[in-house]
Structure 1
Amino acid sequence: MDTALHDPLLGRLLDARYRVEQRIAVGGMATVYRGLDTRLERVVALKVMHPGLASDPEFTSRFIREAKAVARLSHPNVVNVFDQGQDGDAVFLAMEYVPGWTLRDLMRDRGALAPRTVLDILEPILAGLGAAHRAGLVHRDVKPENVLLTEDGRVKVTDFGLVRAVSGESQATTGQVMGTVSYLAPEQIEQGATDPRTDVYACGILMFEMLTGSKPYTGDSPMQVVYQHISMDVPPPSSLVPGLAPELDAITTAAASRDANRRPADAVALLAALQHIRRGLSPAQLDAEPGLPFQPGPQQPPVERTSIMRELPPDLVMPRRTPPEERFAPPPSRAARRPQRRRRRWVVPAVVLLVIGLVAGGATWALDGLYMRMPSVLGQTQGQAVQTLQADGLTVTVTQDFSTTVASGKVISTNPGVGTRIRKDSTVTLDVSKGPDRPAVPDVTGKSQSAAEQAIKDAGLAVGQVTQQASDSISQGDVISTDPAVGTKEQPNTVVNLVVSSGAQPVPLPDVVGESVDQATSDLQDAGFNVQLDPNQVYSPDAAAGDVAAQSPNGDSASKGSTVTLTVSKGQQQATVPDVTGQSEKDARKALEGAGFQVQTVKLNPFGTPTVHNQSPGGNQQAALGSKVTIWLY
């Protein structure tokens, strides 16, 4: 019997707004429904905490924390949280509804994915997690079930139910380890400690699983898997899928390193490294079909999907393999093999063909004595490989190249390749490893941030965190220092953090408006500022001609050593006073105020309709614009 038919929430209106329409999925902490926001008339996902947990203050607090944490993020690769509320015993979140598949659905259906598809999915995951990390949040439960693939090809991270602020408590509850065991970092298991590198580890495991179609650690019990996380290194994906680019091995094992200090600092740093690697891979490496067929595990329970879920776009997934065509036809039936008289006329030609075949075969056998199959010397030392090949009569030349996966002095590859049919007197080229290319951190001190980032990428390294620091000697926006330090030799794609100048330390800024230019210059220079004069002077009602009318900047403080621009006053602006004698008070006031003056009236006769008999300043005289004109009426 389908328990969803008896779900008491179906059809219920939560908070007089959200109508529960269909159950989508059930998790350990909450049930997710498709609902309708009746106010805005839009489809939403309603995540409702299980009633048994709603009475627990700790779980309720964690549930509400998810809403507040994700609401702080505004990113296209994070599922948006619209609202949070409680209706009776139902504590719920109203979230963006994302029709489509989970990444788990995709991997269960397709197995191993092509590297291009892996990067197309993992890069937006890291972009969403990077936004969380830079906002001070750690997801702590990154896994395929929490990655949604939309019907139009977008990728979104969801279920921040275990999210926690980096600056807050970073230990799990005593005796309890949060997250899914297959993706837990060693430090998360041993100490319960979490920071952005915890999510990076989970992404490394995720990348391994997408590239190979299987998890790096398996066991009959969760404890067996936990033990492997703590005691074993994640193998390179190419150990299961031969032919993967070495760079993919390197970034996967770095992200999933047991030592948190050897991982990229956060999702932003891992994303930068992945994008750098992608640019260096050829189309053939990006689109390489997985070398081994996916072997499905035990039958999984059916995944609940909404009625509008459908197949993902074909450019997002690997095409299914089609079985190879049969090379041989089935054997003929006994009746077909029965000799027939009318076919006897073909016996003589058949014998002739057989003789010709035997002669040709003998010639081929004779020629085979001149040929051999190229033996495998991969992974051998240069001396061992040369000795092996020369013993077979081959001539050997040696080239060298950097390698992050093959130890220095050992063979990376051969030309011709292993198994190739070659003459026994051929020349074979050995490509011998020089070890990893250890680029030095370039000197980017004093360069702009953008120029420094480009120089770091050009050196084969990745840009990490960028922090700001005040500096009296380095201009704002330029680089003060790097970590690791300039000249340090590192592994390729090592993250380099930058410290960028935010300008000089602010110091108090004197207010010199109204002072003479000489006095103002002296005061500003004594305070540590440079001074320049604005070539344009302005009228000022407050500063006498030749004094300072304005300064820029004009706040309470400014960076020491910065330049302050002084604008000199031309004094008060003069204007012609209209002659209003003989006019009524109303007309006189209108004329004077229209000319930019203030008006003061003196009435000597309160009776009748007085007119202006005198004014000061007098009509047609010059006066400061905005000054008072007194008129006498009688």
Structure 2
Amino acid sequence: MAQPPYPPEPDDPDDATIADEEWPVAEQYRVQPRSRPPEEDDGTIVIHQDTAPQGPVRRFPPDLGPGLLLALLGILLIVVLVPAGIWLAGRDDDESDAAPTTSSLDTTTQSTGTQTTTTAPPPRTVPELTGLTFEEARALLQPTNVSVVRVFSLESDAPVGEVVEQSPASGARILPDTVVVLTVAPERVTVPSVEGLQRSEAVSILRQAGLGARVRSVSSTEREGTVVSQSPEPDEEVAPRAVVVLEVARPKPPPPVTIVVPRLVGLEAAEARDQLRQLGLRVTQRPAESEQPKGTVVRQSPGPGTKLQEGQAVLLAISTGPARVSVPDVVGLDEESAREQLESAGFAVQIVDEPTETVEEDGIVVGQEPAGGSSTPKGSIVSITVSRFG
């Protein structure tokens, strides 16, 4: 039995207008309700078409309701998140499988589900290489896949090309690509003889032989620039680039100038200094007590007539004048005692008599000049006054 295309018309006529009132749309978009066609006996439904043209019919989305919306949102999240989680989990597994372990030298590579393991080569033992030639040592090291560096020892007396030292030492454990340094005895060079040659020629010959040169100037009777000795000696065997020390005659100094020292005693100090400096001599001086006037040369060393070389020194003793001495106080002493004290102090004594009427004062010093306690140049005259009775 065919189902009618429209739902049955409600019993309450007001129900037909409820849908229209609940749709908040403009009038031109309203759809006129269709009346239910009459049922025919043969079950055929006849649809009556209006002759007037109708405007376009707008279809509205169905009312899904909140429950259906939440269900659709949950399905969408499942569709997106589940594949992403599966992809991340597989990526973490790949990374953990590809990471090398620190406790083993084996390495594992993860590729499309198949594991490939590579084992690092084991370390090798360094053999004893000293005493071999460099070529023999290099051939012996070739299976170990190491790098070989050759250096030369300039102080070795071993045969040419022989390994005299190795690093690492024999017995050491090494890995491929390790650098092994071999010290090898170099070729020997015969030192040519350059004694008696000029400096430039000797240096040129040594350089042509593959040797270095170091020049040292020495005093010699040979002509200036002549090689007077060499070290190492001629015909010695040395390493290439060894240095040969050459002793070369330096220029002869000019003969020394001889200067005769003049007599300077009795001259003023300034005049004596000028004479010595004009002759090319140096001057040193020191003070000296003397009876000579202050500033006078009283001694010289060396003495007059001595021969000196230019730049040597002459010592001058310059007078500071007589020494000053404290005058003894002799007033009240007898004449003889006073004279002894003054002469002992370095003074000359002058006696002046003065009469007295007192017998007790006879021969007594009653005065002196300079007075006792004053400072007077040594050798000066001290005058004393002595009383005379009768």
TM-score with structure 1 setting the length: 0.24
> Larger Cα Rg: Structure 1 or Structure 2?
2
- Structure with higher helix content: 1
TM-score with structure 2 setting the length: 0.36
- Structure with higher strand content: 2
